[in-house]
Structures are given as structure tokens and as C-alpha cells.
Structure 1
């Protein structure tokens, strides 16, 4: 049985991860709806504003995935391992 404090912590971490990524997707979709031609604006040669925003979203997605992994390792994995007597070397 998983202790309640670990279950709550995992839920909090998941919600933050989903919120960051959903907000980014909604911002990109909203920008496309509000300013439909803005994403096609050339910035530097063949690179458009939309391509730059998509690249930024990729960075945010990778960064949030790294944060998610580290947050779970620090806040959930170690306490759960301590409960069952397992220690992992990092």
C-alpha cells in the first residue's frame, strides 16, 4: 500500500507537469487563432516565427520532462525506497 503523503506528492508533481505543457500548447493554439498569419512571418531566412515557437515548445517539453523525472526521484522514489529498505546509488 502506498502511503497517502507519497500519493499526494505524486499527484501534485503530475498536475504541475500537465499544467506547464497544456499552457504551452494552448498558448501556441491561441496565438494561431488570434493572429493566423503571425506564425508564417519570416524571422531569419527560411525560419518562421511558428518554427521558432515550435522549437521553444520542444525546449519547454524536454525541460519539463527532466524536471518531472528529478522531482519524482527526489520527492517520491527516495522516500518510497526508504519505506521498503531499498537504497539506490545515484
Structure 2
């Protein structure tokens, strides 16, 4: 949760996508590398999945996902963050 005075900058690779979690009992799954922000009132948990079920429905197909439930939104970037930013350049 961000609070206080000052500025905050959020970046995204491409136009951010806003996903409405719907407030029902179903969880919305997001790849952590694509996650930008979420509503503070959402319940959040990490989930490891190696089942074929994660490839269909509301799953992202990733081995580790963030699961969101409750009323609110999740903002994701359309392209996963690259590990290029971690390479030493020079």
C-alpha cells in the first residue's frame, strides 16, 4: 500500500490492462512478472501450479502465479518484464 506525500511512478511495457476481479468466489490469476498494481482491498496469495488446468480458464499458464480474490482491480502489463534489465552492461 502506498501512502504519504510525494510522487509515485508506475511503468509498464505497453498499454496497461485493467482486470476487474468481479468480487465473486473465483480467483483471478496473474503472472508476477506482468503485475503492475492492484486494489488494496483484494486478498492476495501466491500459488504454485504444475497442472494442465493452469493452461485453461482464468490461469496464465505460469508455474507460479499470484491469485487475487474479492472486489477490486488488478493492473497488468501486456508483455512480461525481461531479465535484460539485470544484465551488466558496459
TM range (shorter): under 0.3
The structure with higher relative contact order (CA 8 Å, sep 6+) is 2
| Structure with the greater alpha carbon radius of gyration | 1
Return the TM-score normalized by structure 2. Answer: 0.20
Larger fraction in strand: 2
Return the TM-score normalized by structure 1. Answer: 0.20
